[in-house]
Amino acid sequence: MKLLFDFLPIFLFFGTFKVAEGRREWAAQFASEHLGFLVNGGVVGASEAPVLLATVVVILATLAQVAWIIARGRKVDTMLWVSLALVTVFGGATIWFHNETFIKWKPSVLYWVMGLSFWLSQLVFRKNLLRALIGEQLTLPPGVWQRLNFMWVAFFAFMGLLNLYVAYSFSTDTWVNFKLFGGIGLMFAFTVAQGLYISRHVQDAAEAGQTPSA
């Protein structure tokens, strides 16, 4: 359920874009009438309407996520605050300037911020961020924690570059598909690969901790 909640803005972005893409003229008229005050010039063209409407939806969805968590008296994760800030700034620029390039940069910047936080926590503060997040559930040697941490740094750096490659090399429709299926799929595959790597070291640690029977 939490996973669905976390990815809800992406699902809504995808769904809104696909619906508007199939009805561009209607989408342009709707956006111009109801959202023209947010757009430079007040008029939204048919070619740009789908991504602009999807951008508005993803901003509102992320705001709703934060509001829901606060209303339930829970702490909002730092990365969700960062995501809200980025989607508001980059999404707002996309809407105002009629330019989808800004929102296409948002995932890359978020990936790099996440990777940088993992890297700096280890390099500057001597704190393994991954261990701080899941260390209570796992017992691993310090060297393994360090390797896992830097694996995430490398993965986030790669994902940021891959997002820009798709954004600049293919159509917006292809980028939207990649944002949902490619991004989530690669994240899932990487998590599974790390799980397999961790399972080996958890088993080794358990065997090392066993005492010989008399």
pLDDT of residue 195 exceeding 90 = no
Average pLDDT over residues 1-18: 89
Q: How many CB atoms lie within 10 A of CB 75?
A: 8
* Mean local confidence (pLDDT), 120-139: 77
Residue 130 vs residue 151, higher pLDDT: 151
* CB of 64 closer than 8 Å to CB of 76: no
Residues 55 and 30: beta-carbon distance below 8 Å: no
* pLDDT bracket for residue 1 (50, 70, 90): low
- pLDDT tens column, 59-74: 999 999 999 999 999 9
* 136 CB neighbour count, 10 Å cutoff: 8
CB-CB contact of 183 with 107 (8 Å): yes
Of residues 90 and 202, more confidently modeled: 90
- Boundaries of every domain in the chain: 1-99, 100-214
- The pLDDT score that the predictor gives to residue 204 is 53
Q: What is the pLDDT of residue 212?
A: 43
pTM of the model: 0.87
| Residue 181 confidence (pLDDT) above 70 | yes
Q: Which residues contact 44 (CB under 8 A, 6 or more apart)?
A: 27, 28, 31, 32, 35, 36, 52, 98
